[in-house]
Chain A
Amino acid sequence: MDFLVFQVPMLTIQALLDGLLLGILFALIAYGMALQWGVMNIINIAQGDLVILGGYIAYFMYLYGIHPGWGVIVSPIIMYFVGIGIYKLVINKVVDRDLFISILATFGISILFMQLMNFAFGADVVLANSGYGTTMLFDNSVTLPNSKIFSAVISIIFAIGLVIYMKRSKLGRAIRATAQNARAAKILGVDTEKVYAATFGINAALCGVAGALISITFTIHPYMGLPYTIRSFMIVIVAGLGNLPGVAVSGMGLGIFEEFADYILGTEFRIGSVFLLLVLILVYRRFKLSRKREYLK
């Protein structure tokens, strides 16, 4: 245990801001997962791999001399079609099946993507330099990389844009209707097949944005997808299914929690503490649920 983070006030602020910025980025990935989970009842294990693929798109733009910041526009467009492709090839065959089947299918896609990316891009760890510089606060004692701020701002823009799109557009309404009751939506003339494909495409596009941001702020590597899948899974579980505003809050909360756990318990327990939190939340949920059931009796 180390309480240095509370003894130095600047460290506390640094940890809070770092956690917040990190959490917003994770929330964006979780957003896509929550959407697709809610609409299609599919837990996408390949979520993290879609993120990494999106990151590679930004990285290759950077290699060819285009500023990787533009990746947040190019990458989602390409990834949208990748998503539709995956849906047409695999997901449409498992979409109304058991949850287990879809987990298996997306797990397979995840392995395939990892190996293909390794084959195509090599096993080197790479990154794209944005050259955005640093924002310094409180006489240089708190530093925030502008790339992280950029990531958070872009994430927020996309998240808000998505919410508005879901509320206002025809497709958005169709998606929400399908999520509520697919059969009823179908009867009322919604082409659910098209809705599913679009949902998967939107999810992949969000992953593309997140990937481009990650290539600017962190590093990418063909086998680095799984932590992003796990984090977003956790965020969705904590928020509760179908609770999109909750995803944003739980994403930020988890980011801050992680950062503080890192300072207090040590970096090695960072991920462990997040898992511990997940277990506690699940136990608490179960406890609450069992009380409700008794009440119903």
Chain B
Amino acid sequence: MKIKNILITFFSAIAILFSTSVISLAKVVGDKIVLGAAISLTGKYSSNGVHTQNGYNMAVDRINSMGGVKVGGKTYKFDIIYYDDESNPKRAAQLAERLISQDGVEFMLGPYSSGLTKAIAPVTEKYGVPMVEANGASRSLFTKGYKYLFAVLAPANLYLDVAIETAVELNGGKGVKIAQAFEQDAFSQDVRLGILDAAERTGSEIVIDDKLPKELNDMAATLAKVKAVKPDVLVVSGHTKGALTAIRQIAEMKVDVPMLAMTHCDAAKLSKQHGKNSEYALCASQWHKTLTYKDDFFKDGMTYAADFEKEFGYDPPYQSAESSAALLVFKDAFERANSFDQKKVRDALAATNMQTFYGNIKFAPGGQNVDKPMVLFQVMCDDAGKCENKVVAPLKWASAELIHPIPKWSER
């Protein structure tokens, strides 16, 4: 009996040892490169978390089916370990620890949102794990001197820069009066800083500068002020809730403003939820399917959108496109580094200079992508009330001409 117990203990100990050693070898097993990602599959970011995951999966399948990654004369395939971070920064940081120290992941993909990326970045930095992220745009991510963080997207302060510049240009180069309302979170406040910069650069004046509370549900006061002060541009950023609330109340209160610029229009499905009321709104976007960037894997934006829709049943938002681009960047860096050494891969990532269907990618020392401008689209509706997002700036990709100023409510 005793011997049997000892034997059982012995074998289970060996089994445990064996299983842990298998797990800790997980980074590159056989012909697989295992990447780790904490994604918001539940909680308040779950819809965008799923867009992110779909983007990653789409790129993994595509790269694997088109020959995989060639390192040292051998072909490898991508694989991703996902954990659900529950949209919770603390949980995300724990999961990053777990992915790195328990699962042995040596390369990471980013989570969804600036807040969660901020929680994970110190962990990946501590372990020297290169992370390519596609959904954290907050400027503060790129000013902390992180060496292993790379973002394929343009930083938040550039989101609505173009809108102000366009407004000034249309005003004959003279400064404009700007009213702005931003939610009090890292991302929106960064967008605000960008507007402040642009205002200073163009000699524009900020006439209303409201900070919206997180539990924002009512912008009536801000909009009443806008009606009284009559600015040239109204800028709103407060995630999907901000976009939806703003459009609803602007229409209800008949606020006339020559230009309305905002963020998160496509995530909020503005044109679908508000129809004609959302017409003429200008929206900042990281990507739009009509842009003419090209690569070998997804060809171009239109093809990507069609393939994505075939696989997942909906039109890809930019969150999915940028997530797919992150894997293209990793593949490129692995092949140029020709090694799985984290330092070498990191250096290769830093030297990235490529074009993907999503845009050009080239990282600044801070880790942000400096080679891809934001695009602005405008919601335009036909007579039947069907609304579409059309790119209006930068001019190079414009598929429609900007309608400015926005017609008054009494004429609509």
Residues on A facing B (Cβ under 8 Å)? 4, 8, 10-11, 14-15, 18, 22, 115, 118-119, 122-127, 129, 134, 136, 140-141, 143, 145, 147, 218-219, 221-224, 226-227, 259, 262-263, 266-268, 270-271
Query: For B181, what are the chain A residues with a Cβ–Cβ distance below 8 Å?
Result: 267
Tell whether, in the assembled complex, residue A268 and residue B211 are in contact, meaning their CB atoms are under 8 Å apart.
yes
Tell whether, in the assembled complex, residue A227 and residue B217 are in contact, meaning their CB atoms are under 8 Å apart.
yes
Which chain B residues (224-240) contact chain A, with CB distance < 8 Å? 224-225, 227-229, 239-240
Question: Per-residue CB proximity of B68-92 to A under 8 Å, as 1/0?
Answer: 0000000000000000000100000
| Cα of A270 to Cα of B244 in the assembled complex, Å | 20
Q: Interface stretch among B40-48, B156-164, B295-303, B396-404?
A: B40-48
Tell whether, in the assembled complex, residue B228 and residue A218 are in contact, meaning their CB atoms are under 8 Å apart.
no
| Cα of A127 to Cα of B227 in the assembled complex, Å | 24
Q: How large is the interface on B (under 10, 10 to 19, 20 to 34, 35 or more residues)?
A: 35 or more
- CB proximity of B219 to chain A, nearest CB, Å: 8
| Cα of A259 to Cα of B222 in the assembled complex, Å | 10
Tell whether, in the assembled complex, residue A271 and residue B228 are in contact, meaning their CB atoms are under 8 Å apart.
no
- CB proximity of A172 to chain B, nearest CB, Å: 33
Which one of B46, B87, B221 contacts A18 once the chains associate, using CB atoms below 8 Å? B221
Which chain B residues (42-68) contact chain A, with CB distance < 8 Å? 42-48
Q: Kindly report which residue of chain B lies nearest to residue A148, judged by CB atoms.
A: B252
Majority secondary structure of chain B interface residues (helix, strand, loop or mixed): helix
Tell whether, in the assembled complex, residue B43 and residue A118 are in contact, meaning their CB atoms are under 8 Å apart.
yes
Tell whether, in the assembled complex, residue A11 and residue B249 are in contact, meaning their CB atoms are under 8 Å apart.
no
Which chain B residues (263-286) contact chain A, with CB distance < 8 Å? 268-269, 273-275
Query: For A221, what are the chain B residues with a Cβ–Cβ distance below 8 Å?
Result: 44, 241
Most buried by A among B45, B87, B228: B228
Query: For A115, what are the chain B residues with a Cβ–Cβ distance below 8 Å?
Result: 42
Known: A118-B43, A122-B47, A263-B221. A219 touches B241 (CB 8 A): yes
- CB proximity of B227 to chain A, nearest CB, Å: 7
Known: A10-B228, A22-B218, A218-B218. A270 touches B213 (CB 8 A): yes
Tell whether, in the assembled complex, residue B240 and residue A18 are in contact, meaning their CB atoms are under 8 Å apart.
no
- CB proximity of A137 to chain B, nearest CB, Å: 12
Query: For A259, what are the chain B residues with a Cβ–Cβ distance below 8 Å?
Result: 220-221
Query: For B48, what are the chain A residues with a Cβ–Cβ distance below 8 Å?
Result: 123
| Cα of A182 to Cα of B265 in the assembled complex, Å | 54
Tell whether, in the assembled complex, residue A124 and residue B47 are in contact, meaning their CB atoms are under 8 Å apart.
yes
Q: At the interface, yes or no: B355 with Cβ under 8 Å from chain A?
A: no
Known: A4-B228, A227-B215, A267-B210. A122 touches B42 (CB 8 A): no
- CB proximity of B152 to chain A, nearest CB, Å: 24
Most buried by B among A129, A145, A219: A219
Query: For B210, what are the chain A residues with a Cβ–Cβ distance below 8 Å?
Result: 266-268
Show 19 residue pairs from A and B whose CB-CB distance is below 8 angstroms, ordered by the A residue. A4-B229, A11-B224, A14-B220, A15-B224, A18-B221, A118-B42, A124-B47, A124-B240, A125-B241, A125-B244, A125-B268, A140-B254, A143-B227, A143-B253, A223-B44, A227-B215, A267-B210, A267-B221, A268-B213
| Cα of A259 to Cα of B388 in the assembled complex, Å | 35
| Cα of A263 to Cα of B213 in the assembled complex, Å | 14
| Cα of A271 to Cα of B211 in the assembled complex, Å | 12
Q: Kindly report which residue of chain A lies nearest to residue B240, judged by CB atoms.
A: A125
| Cα of A147 to Cα of B239 in the assembled complex, Å | 24
Known: A123-B43, A123-B44, A224-B215. A145 touches B224 (CB 8 A): no
Which chain B residues (175-219) contact chain A, with CB distance < 8 Å? 181, 184, 210-213, 215, 217-218
Q: At the interface, yes or no: B32 with Cβ under 8 Å from chain A?
A: no
- CB proximity of A52 to chain B, nearest CB, Å: 11
Query: For B222, what are the chain A residues with a Cβ–Cβ distance below 8 Å?
Result: 262, 267
Known: A8-B228, A145-B253. A219 touches B217 (CB 8 A): yes
Q: At the interface, yes or no: B102 with Cβ under 8 Å from chain A?
A: no
- CB proximity of A115 to chain B, nearest CB, Å: 7
Query: For B253, what are the chain A residues with a Cβ–Cβ distance below 8 Å?
Result: 134, 143, 145
Query: For A22, what are the chain B residues with a Cβ–Cβ distance below 8 Å?
Result: 218
Tell whether, in the assembled complex, residue B46 and residue A118 are in contact, meaning their CB atoms are under 8 Å apart.
yes
Tell whether, in the assembled complex, residue A226 and residue B215 are in contact, meaning their CB atoms are under 8 Å apart.
yes
Tell whether, in the assembled complex, residue A145 and residue B249 are in contact, meaning their CB atoms are under 8 Å apart.
yes
| Cα of A138 to Cα of B406 in the assembled complex, Å | 24
- CB proximity of B55 to chain A, nearest CB, Å: 17
Q: Kindly report which residue of chain B lies nearest to residue A21, judged by CB atoms.
A: B220
Q: Kindly report which residue of chain A lies nearest to residue B222, judged by CB atoms.
A: A267
| Cα of A126 to Cα of B47 in the assembled complex, Å | 13
Query: For B184, what are the chain A residues with a Cβ–Cβ distance below 8 Å?
Result: 268
Q: At the interface, yes or no: B248 with Cβ under 8 Å from chain A?
A: yes
Q: Kindly report which residue of chain A lies nearest to residue B40, judged by CB atoms.
A: A123
Which one of B217, B254, B273 contacts A136 once the chains associate, using CB atoms below 8 Å? B254
| Cα of A122 to Cα of B44 in the assembled complex, Å | 9
- CB proximity of B341 to chain A, nearest CB, Å: 39
Q: At the interface, yes or no: B245 with Cβ under 8 Å from chain A?
A: yes
| Cα of A288 to Cα of B369 in the assembled complex, Å | 62
- CB proximity of A222 to chain B, nearest CB, Å: 8
| Cα of A259 to Cα of B275 in the assembled complex, Å | 29
Known: A134-B252, A218-B218, A219-B245. A118 touches B44 (CB 8 A): yes
Query: For B275, what are the chain A residues with a Cβ–Cβ distance below 8 Å?
Result: 129
Which one of B213, B240, B244 contacts A267 once the chains associate, using CB atoms below 8 Å? B213
Known: A145-B253, A263-B221. 10 other contacts (CB 8 A): A18-B220, A18-B221, A118-B43, A122-B47, A124-B269, A125-B239, A127-B273, A136-B254, A145-B252, A267-B210
Query: For A11, what are the chain B residues with a Cβ–Cβ distance below 8 Å?
Result: 224-225, 228
| Cα of A11 to Cα of B220 in the assembled complex, Å | 11
Q: Kindly report which residue of chain B lies nearest to residue A260, judged by CB atoms.
A: B221
| Cα of A219 to Cα of B244 in the assembled complex, Å | 8
Tell whether, in the assembled complex, residue A123 and residue B45 are in contact, meaning their CB atoms are under 8 Å apart.
yes
